[in-house]
Every structure is written in C-alpha cells, then in structure tokens.
Amino acid sequence: MSRTLTELKADNLSFATPESIGMEVGDLNETTRKALLALTEYLKAFIAGNKCPRCGSEIGGIFGSFMWGIANGEGMCANCKYPMRAIHRIKEVGTINNLILAYHPSVLEDK
C-alpha cells in the first residue's frame, strides 16, 4: 500500500514528541528544560511511531526496513524509499545515534 506524498499530507499524521521516542520527562531544571524544548521543536520534522508512513513497514529493530543513504545520518525505507534519519544532531541536546525516524510529510516536497 504505497501512498503519495499528497495523500500522506492529507492524513494529518502525528508529529514525534519526546514521549513518542520513549523519553520519560520528570522534574526539569533550567538546562534540561531548554534541551527538552529544543528536542520537542526538532522532532516536529518527524512522525511518531516506528512504521513507514508510505508502505507500513517496520523501520526499526533487527528486521526493520531502514537502509542507509549517502548523507551521514540519512536513509530511507528499504521497501519504498521514504526518507528517514537515524543520526540526529541537536545543538542543545547533542548527538542521538540509531534513532530511526521517518520525516513528517509536512517537511517534504514533491520532486
């Protein structure tokens, strides 16, 4: 079930959040509050969940369909080539490795 970008944009998919990537948010001091705000803003470029929004394949784990691309940290669904990222560099947070997230359709453009 491969879907077009226009169809995906019409779906109003949920944005990723710190909670959707497994982060538990407790008491925050000023430094961690700033980092959490930066992370929350950064995650708005990605969808919540671990399935490819275009074809529905699992994108993480041993049998996931993530395939590395040419650019460092970037990749795609091995089944349908939907763009994803697995290495994230966030100034206030640092580098997060091996967190595979599919881009939210709202940040993509048709070719």
d(C-alpha 58, C-alpha 55), whole Å = 9
Kindly list the domain boundaries of the chain, sorted by start residue: 5-107
The values of phi and psi at residue 62, to 5°, are -60, -35
> Tell me, what amino acid is at 26?
G
- DSSP assignments along 38-84, one per residue: HHHHHHTTBBSSSB-TTT--B-SSTT--EEE-SSTTEEEETTT--EE
Q: What is the pLDDT along the chain (111 residues), one digit of tens a residue?
A: 678 888 898 988 999 999 999 888 777 788 888 989 999 999 999 999 999 999 999 987 777 889 999 999 999 999 999 999 999 999 888 898 989 999 999 999 877
Whether residue 58 contacts residue 51, with contact meaning beta carbons closer than 8 Å, is answered with: yes
Helix (H) or strand (E) segment spanning residue 10 = helix 5-10
Single out the residue of 103, 105, 89 nearest to residue 46, CA to CA: 103
> Position of tokens 């008491």?
27
Global confidence as pTM: 0.89
pLDDT score at 5 = 87
